[in-house]
């Protein structure tokens, strides 16, 4: 099953379009977990209205702001209770799927034996990211020593996520990473999957929305991510490529199920 993970903070203006893009999918076997991180606006109200009572959409509201790393790991797993073979798709609360065949497209990829996808992002032409942001992984060098390119649409089998170690979800002060969650999660999963199990999406599937509340945050995030890669991640031991049997047999050391 697809488990769509949507984290959001102050997304009342955007969450309706996000949810509607999921409801419009031709593929019907999915659940959507909206984790609202103690917003100060009407995100929850707008999410409930847009979901229109669809039981596949679960809206969870934190009493305090817990941050992306906690929400995309412990909090999500506690509520969603994913099976090893479930495919987790990251869809931020201010973004949306570009068309109604996105899940069908991703389903076809996983039917061919892949474990991890990245790419397929598009956004307003008024903004530009680094050129490397849109490229494929250079498998001839370590993922920890090349520009980060594991962009949306990010999806992965749960058996990859559960194999990330608790220590690698945290910074040197033992706090959950604030900005580097995409790096902290995606690089280990891609390393464990290996080249033959990672699929780079070239078709446009995912709209990343730049807006006044995230443009400045994106600059901070990029700086934090670069610092994390250069001063922390690159010095950590890379994950070894693993077989499916090894991944399935491993027990998660951070799950609170």
Please answer whether residues 88 and 6 qualify as being in contact, where contact means their C-beta atoms are separated by less than 8 angstroms. no
3-state helix, strand, coil in the chain (%, to 5): 40, 20, 45
What local confidence, expressed as pLDDT, does residue 30 receive? 98
pLDDT value for 173: 86
CB atoms within 10 A of CB 225: 19
On the CB side of 174, how many CA atoms lie within 13 Å of its CA? 0
Peptide bond into 153 cis (omega under 30): yes
Task: List the pLDDT tens digit at each of the 257 positions of the chain.
Answer: 999 999 999 999 999 999 999 999 999 999 999 999 999 999 999 999 999 999 999 999 999 999 999 999 999 999 999 999 999 999 999 999 999 999 999 999 999 999 999 999 998 766 666 677 789 999 999 998 888 899 999 999 999 999 999 999 998 889 898 777 888 999 999 999 999 999 999 999 999 988 766 654 566 666 776 777 778 877 889 999 999 999 999 999 997 65
pTM: 0.93
CB 18 within 8 A of CB 93: yes
Output the pLDDT for position 114.
98
- Distance, in Å, from the CA atom of 239 to the CA atom of 116, rounded to the nearest integer, reads 15
Residue 99's CB is within 10 A of a number of other CB atoms, namely 16
Domains along the sequence of the chain with CATH? 2-249 (3.90.550.10)
Query: What pLDDT, on a 0 to 100 scale, did the predictor assign at position 190?
Result: 98
The pLDDT of residue 130: 67
How many CA atoms lie within 13 Å of 161's alpha carbon, on the beta-carbon side? 28
Rounded Cα gap, residues 134 and 120, in angstroms:
9
- Count the Cβ atoms, other than its own, within 10 Å of residue 108: 11
Six token digits for residue 90: 């990251």
The pLDDT value given to residue 224: 73
E strand or H helix at 104: helix 102-111
Say what the pLDDT of residue 182 is. 86
Terminal-residue alpha carbon distance, the chain: 19
Supply the pLDDT for residue 116. 98
Q: How many CB atoms lie within 10 A of CB 103?
A: 22
Q: What are phi and psi of 148, to 5 degrees?
A: -70, 125
């Amino acid at each position: 099953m697809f488990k769509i993970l949507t984290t959001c903070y102050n997304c009342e203006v955007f969450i309706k379009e996000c949810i509607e893009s999921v409801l419009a999918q031709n593929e019907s076997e999915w659940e959507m977990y909206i984790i609202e991180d103690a917003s100060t606006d009407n995100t929850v109200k707008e999410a409930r209205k847009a979901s229109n009572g669809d039981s596949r959409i679960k809206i969870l509201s934190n009493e305090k702001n817990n941050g992306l790393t906690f929400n995309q790991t412990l909090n999500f797993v506690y509520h969603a209770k994913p099976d090893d073979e479930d495919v987790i798709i990251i869809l931020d609360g201010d973004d949306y799927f570009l068309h109604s065949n996105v899940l069908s497209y991703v389903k076809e990829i996983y039917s061919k034996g892949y474990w991890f996808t990245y790419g397929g992002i598009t956004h307003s032409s008024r903004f530009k990211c680094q050129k490397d942001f849109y490229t494929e992984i250079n498998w001839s060098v370590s993922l920890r020593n090349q520009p980060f390119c594991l962009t949306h649409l990010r999806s992965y089998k749960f058996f990859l996520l559960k194999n990330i170690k608790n220590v690698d979800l945290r910074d040197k002060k033992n706090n959950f990473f604030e900005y580097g969650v995409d790096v902290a999660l995606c690089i280990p999963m891609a390393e464990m999957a290996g080249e033959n199990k990672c699929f780079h999406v070239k078709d446009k599937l995912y709209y990343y929305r730049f807006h006044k509340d995230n443009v400045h945050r994106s600059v901070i995030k990029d700086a934090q991510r670069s610092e994390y890669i250069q001063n922390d991640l690159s010095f950590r031991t890379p994950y070894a490529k693993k077989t499916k049997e090894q991944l399935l047999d491993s027990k998660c050391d951070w799950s609170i199920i």
